């Protein structure tokens, strides 16, 4: 499955950085954003994941997020998540950058995680930004801010919004300092996350892409494996044993 160059780059790697996307959680039963039609009623994620959509119809957006949270709460981390935790424990330096908001990497035990697009289990006030703990059971009705009375929104990044403070600048530093970079389960179409593997490549890192489908980065990376991350990563960590 792996080339000689890959094995040698991995064995000598001192600093591994990984970027994951929705496809990484697909094997846990969580649908991806693209390529999946009819995910929820007749709306596409792009129509619901915007501040404008929340202003127009907050109940609908809250309902969509509650639907997703329930799906995630019923899911478990998969073999890919656990393999990354093992990888983290096997190398000198490891950092995981994820576009996923589902918390599954943390549930699988990975420690050094930067969430580029927030976390679906966090909320904050739409107006004043005060953080809010939703807790369990999930609240079917949108809570109001205890500070200013406005509506509480999901703590994720929506289209047209900035990434959490420092999340991208820190990630860019991690990507540039990597000697081995893994890009798994992302279509690499959403910027600025899709720039990170390019930063790593420009600094001479070995960049491995794991995705059953080709992406626009497939021809640029050092090696592209057209397989599922839950299949490839458990095999990849065997190289270090």
Task: Work out the burial of residue 219: count CB atoms within 10 Å of its CB; fewer than 13 is exposed, 13-18 middle, 19 or more buried.
Answer: exposed
Nearer to ligand OAD, 93 or 235 (CB): 235
Q: Report, in Å, the least distance between residue 80 CB and ligand OAD.
A: 7
Decide whether 5 or 36 has the Cβ nearer to ligand OAD.
36
CB contact at 8 A, 209 and 225: yes
Q: Please indicate whether residue 117 is annotated as part of the active site.
A: yes
Question: Least separation, in Å, of the C-beta of 198 and ligand OAD?
Answer: 15
Query: 219 CB contacts (<8 Å, ≥6 apart)?
Result: none
Smallest distance from the beta carbon of 108 to ligand OAD, in angstroms?
15
Residues 6 or more apart in contact with residue 21 via CB below 8 angstroms? 32, 98, 99, 100, 184, 185, 186, 187, 188, 193
Q: Would you call 1 helix, strand, or coil by DSSP?
A: coil
In three-state secondary structure terms, 63 is helix
Beta carbon nearer to ligand OAD, 22 or 113: 22
* Interface residue list for ligand OAD (CB under 6 A): 21-23, 26-27, 32-34, 45, 49, 99, 117, 157, 184-187, 190, 210-213, 215, 228-230
- Minimum CB separation of residue 210 from ligand OAD in Å reads 6
Provide, rounded to whole angstroms, the least separation between the CB of residue 170 and ligand OAD.
17
Which residues are CB-contacts of 139 (< 8 A; sequence separation ≥ 6)? 66
Tokens of 99: 């576009």
| Strands ordered across the beta sheet of 223-225 | 113-115, 93-98, 15-20, 180-184, 206-210, 223-225
Residue nearest to ligand OAD (CB): 23
Q: Return the number of the residue (45 or 77) whose C-beta is nearest ligand OAD.
A: 45
* Closer CB to ligand OAD, 33 or 180, in the complex: 33
Select which of 81, 95, 105, 117 is catalytic. Answer: 117
Residues annotated catalytic, as ranges: 117
């Amino acid at each position: 499955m792996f080339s000689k160059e890959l094995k040698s780059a991995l064995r000598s790697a001192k600093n591994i950085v990984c970027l994951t996307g929705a496809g990484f959680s697909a094997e846990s039963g969580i649908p991806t954003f693209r390529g999946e039609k009819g995910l929820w009623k007749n709306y596409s994620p792009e129509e619901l994941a915007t501040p404008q959509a929340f202003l127009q119809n907050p109940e609908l957006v809250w309902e969509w997020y509650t639907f997703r949270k329930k799906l995630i709460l019923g899911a478990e981390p998969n073999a890919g998540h656990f393999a990354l935790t093992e990888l983290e424990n096997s190398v000198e330096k490891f950092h995981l950058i994820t576009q996923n908001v589902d918390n599954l990497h943390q549930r699988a035990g990975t420690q050094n995680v930067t969430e580029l697009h927030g976390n679906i289990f966090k909320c904050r006030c739409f107006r004043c930004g005060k953080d809010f703990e939703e807790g369990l059971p999930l609240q079917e009705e949108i809570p109001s801010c205890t500070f200013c009375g406005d509506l509480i929104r999901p703590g994720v990044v929506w289209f047209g919004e900035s990434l959490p403070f420092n999340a991208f600048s820190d990630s860019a530093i991690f990507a540039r300092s990597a000697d081995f970079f893994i890009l798994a389960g992302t279509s690499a179409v959403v910027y600025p996350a899709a720039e990170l593997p390019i930063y790593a490549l420009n600094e001479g890192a070995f960049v491995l892409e794991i995705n059953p489908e080709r992406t626009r980065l497939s021809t640029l990376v050092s090696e592209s494996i057209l397989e599922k991350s839950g299949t490839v990563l458990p095999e990849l960590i065997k190289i270090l044993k």
